[in-house]
Structure 1
Amino acid sequence: MKMALVHDYLTQKGGAERVFELLCRQFPDADIYTSLYSPEDTIDVGERPVYTTKLQAIPGASKNFRLLAPFYFPAFEALDLKKYDLIISSTTSFAKSVIKRPDAYHVCFCHNITRFLWDTHTYIDQYRRYKALMPIIEPVFQKLRQIDLTHAQKPDLYISNSTVVAERIQQIYKQPAITVNYPIDINQFEFSDQKEDFYLVSSRLLGYKRVDIVIEAFNWLGWPLIITGDGPERERLELAALSNISFLGHVSDEQRRSLMARAKAVIVTALEDYGLVPIEANASGTPVVAYGAGGVLDTQIPGKTGVFFYRQSPEALYRAMLKANNIQWNYRQIREHVLQNFTEDVFFKKVLTIIEENYGEYRGVA
């Protein structure tokens, strides 16, 4: 069986790319396709060649990939994938639009519906430099929404990372999705039951991440807080923070791993479609204080692995921090939660069973 792996673009190293990296490792003989590839800025796919679209030839495309939105659908359609029996796409937007043979099978790992089309104003708020382009963007997006709906009918099977995303796929694309919570590489995190006197935020500093809530709550608490990650909000956040709050910017994987293991808790204030950070914290034996909506509802057990707050406000987080501080956490139990539910072995056992059952049924051999 000839297999292809397809991802939207390999120009960054976010959660979707980390999942695609796992797929590449699980299927070492599969060919890899993407629209744009910047190897120095993204995941390690080993020695295999990465086949790209014609967009790769555009100067500066990898750095300004978001501006090419109208061109991705035809670029993916132009890829010649006729020789493949099984296509696995990994997408939040465009890779689902590839064309297969009529007798081939297309499994789509859908990390979300196309957010910039279906939740445009929230998306633009994250990238404020694009706000001035809204009068131009909106008419284009109206057309792209219809194109997106058409391409969303191409996959034979959708696998979503969370129940929230599965509901969106059903609501917008009118397609059923099987939810399989995405894993982490457990070997990349170290366990410690010796927690130190600080709390941790590990996040890109974007508006929707709502790190401003953490700043204000910790200004009141006066507790030590370390923030890792960078982004356009950093300067504003630093100006609002008191001396108990430290900004480290981008840190190495080793330093991040150490901070995760030693922190009293990791704080997540964004509404995430899924979110790997809470699972990574739990893998380190560290509880999570999280906004109780979205993906964390699939991954956290209140009172066992974390504490939820239900309004994105400093007051709600403040109360949640006091509650978390009074819980006698079982750090080994927190890590065991990940070992039982979110390892690569658990993930691929579920995924391979789903693919075999559905692919076999599709070919009339089940």
Structure 2
Amino acid sequence: MTTPISQVKVAIIHEWLEHYAGSERVVAELLKIFPQAEIFAVVDFLPPEERGFLGGRKVTTTFVQKLPFARKYFRNYLGLMPIAVEQFDLAKFDLIVSSHHAVAKGIITGPDQFHICYVHSPMRYAWDMQAAYLRQSGLERGLKGMFVRWMLHRIRTWDVRAASGVDVFVANSSYIARRIRKVYRRDALVIHPPVEIERFQVAETKRSSYIVAARQVPYKRVDLVVEAFRKMPQHRLMVVGGGPDHDKIVELAAASPNITVKGKVPHDELLALMQGAKAFVFAAEEDFGIALVEAQACGTPLIAFGRGGALDIVRPEGDPKGCTGVLFDTQDADAIVAAVQRFEAIGASITSENCRRNALRFSEEAFRQHVTELVEGLLDQGLPTPRMSDPLTSMTIEAE
């Protein structure tokens, strides 16, 4: 007889609790699936007003929590975090679910326990993005740079070793599944992260301008979108968001009357801007891309860089389930111009209803359903000792 999910002893391991953001939304949905779960994290500095999703649960933390200046600088203790997560005593649990983008998957489990690792991303700054991280941090040279390179080398070695303790990898996109395969030589399920679809609705409104809404940091490439629309004065662009590059974006757009820079806006205003946009333009290479799903939930078509998580979200021309946007192949302004021109040619065939229907694949309910199906399948196989021929390690789960 299969053990009910409610009777399974579950531990949820999260990297660190600092703000309620994308990875914390995953934890919030996991807690709805496993209300009996206990929570563990390297550190917990989540402010009181953002703790509601924890439901009053106590969070078990590591020694990093009590190190000097940890509240503000806990990331500087990255080199100690592998040791820290290995100290959690998880002996009483049947199922351990780690929410991983740095060290969470490194917890130690026994042969009669099952470990599912939900991967937001392998540790970017230790693997393929190390050079960019060192450059942006000013650590390309000098003794400090040498130390960081040595530390990241040690972490890579540990990271690969830690992967052997995971029974099933779950990636948040096909892109991350490919990165898992590259780094850990393991296959992964794809279960997309939960998006609060109901916060974004379709509205009957005139769609008059394009929109780019993102935190203005270098990798988001908002500058490329602005540069592209400087070349298209006949098309209006609304730029929404703040960040370190905001002044640069304002300066870049200053001489173009067709471009309006709004800065960071409240949710209600962002919703109205998305609902009134002809298309949402996105030039970044993201692990997934929650903003793309939010735009689709508003019935807004997408014009997106065709790499990363966007490939899981955008239904391009020719898709049998209906087109919801246009992809461009290179991160440059001319490619965006060409994509906008293509959108102008086919945009009338992209319906708000189809965009909204596409967004529902990524709802919170869909996430809970897919995770529940995964765990129930493992329980049917005899969790915590699954069959070695478990086919789940090569599946992609997607709602219709």
Q: Same fold (TM over 0.5)?
A: yes
| 1:64 equivalent in alignment to 2:73 | yes
- Larger RCO: 1 or 2 (CA < 8 Å, sep 6+): 2
Deviation at 1:128, TM superposition (A): 3.6
| 1:266 equivalent in alignment to 2:280 | yes
| Structure 2 CA distance for partners of 1:66 and 1:203, relative to 1, 3 Å | farther
After superposition, residues 243-258 of structure 1 pair within 5 angstroms as 243-258=257-272
Equivalent position of 2:155 in the other structure:
144
| Structure 2 CA distance for partners of 1:153 and 1:42, relative to 1, 3 Å | farther
The SS at the match of 1:221 is coil
Q: TM-score, normalised by structure 1?
A: 0.92
Whether contact under 8 Å (1:10, 1:43) holds in the other structure is: no
Deviation at 1:124, TM superposition (A): 3.9
The SS at the match of 1:39 is coil
The SS at the match of 1:353 is helix
Equivalent position of 1:155 in the other structure:
166
Alignment partners' CA distance in 1, 2:44 and 2:263? 25
The SS at the match of 2:72 is coil
Alignment partners' CA distance in 1, 2:61 and 2:270? 32
Q: Which amino acid aligns with 1:356?
A: E
| 1:93 equivalent in alignment to 2:102 | yes
Q: Which moved more, 1:343-352 or 1:102-111?
A: 343-352
Equivalent position of 2:207 in the other structure:
196
The SS at the match of 1:84 is coil
Whether contact under 8 Å (1:193, 1:285) holds in the other structure is: no
| Structure 2 CA distance for partners of 1:365 and 1:270, relative to 1, 3 Å | closer
Whether contact under 8 Å (2:302, 2:326) holds in the other structure is: yes
Q: TM-score, normalised by structure 2?
A: 0.84
| 1:24 equivalent in alignment to 2:31 | yes
Residue in structure 2 matching 1:233, options 222, 226, 245? 245
Deviation at 1:175, TM superposition (A): 1.7
The SS at the match of 1:255 is helix
Whether contact under 8 Å (2:239, 2:259) holds in the other structure is: yes
Alignment partners' CA distance in 2, 1:247 and 1:37? 36
The percentage of aligned residue pairs carrying the same residue is: 32
Alignment partners' CA distance in 2, 1:300 and 1:63? 38
Question: How many residues in Structure 1 have an aligned counterpart in Structure 2?
Answer: 364
Q: Which moved more, 1:12-21 or 1:257-266?
A: 12-21
Whether contact under 8 Å (2:65, 2:71) holds in the other structure is: yes
Q: Which amino acid aligns with 1:342?
A: F
Whether contact under 8 Å (1:32, 1:49) holds in the other structure is: yes
The SS at the match of 1:29 is coil
Alignment partners' CA distance in 1, 2:110 and 2:385? 17
| Structure 2 CA distance for partners of 1:201 and 1:124, relative to 1, 3 Å | farther
1:119-138 CA-partner distances (Å, limit 9, x unpaired) = 2013345x445556433311
Equivalent position of 2:198 in the other structure:
187
| 1:332 equivalent in alignment to 2:353 | yes
Alignment partners' CA distance in 1, 2:191 and 2:208? 35
Equivalent position of 1:213 in the other structure:
224
Q: Which amino acid aligns with 1:219?
A: R
Higher gyration radius (CA): 2
Alignment partners' CA distance in 2, 1:238 and 1:154? 48
Name stretches of at least 5 consecutive residues in structure 2 with no aligned partner: 1-7, 318-322, 388-400
Equivalent position of 2:370 in the other structure:
350
The SS at the match of 2:183 is helix
Name stretches of at least 5 consecutive residues in structure 1 with no aligned partner: none
Q: Which amino acid aligns with 1:346?
A: A
Alignment partners' CA distance in 2, 1:130 and 1:229? 28
Equivalent position of 1:322 in the other structure:
341
Alignment partners' CA distance in 2, 1:16 and 1:129? 27
Whether contact under 8 Å (2:203, 2:275) holds in the other structure is: yes
Residue in structure 2 matching 1:80, options 77, 83, 89? 89
Query: Which contiguous aligned blocks of 4+ residues in structure 1 show a shift greater than 4 angstroms?
Result: 41-44, 129-133
Alignment partners' CA distance in 2, 1:249 and 1:62? 29
Residue in structure 1 matching 2:133, options 120, 123, 128? 123
Measured on the aligned residues, the alpha-carbon RMSD in Å equals 2.2
Equivalent position of 1:52 in the other structure:
61
The SS at the match of 1:325 is helix
Q: Which moved more, 1:135-144 or 1:85-94?
A: 135-144
Deviation at 1:322, TM superposition (A): 2.0
Q: Which moved more, 1:130-139 or 1:152-161?
A: 130-139
The SS at the match of 2:17 is coil
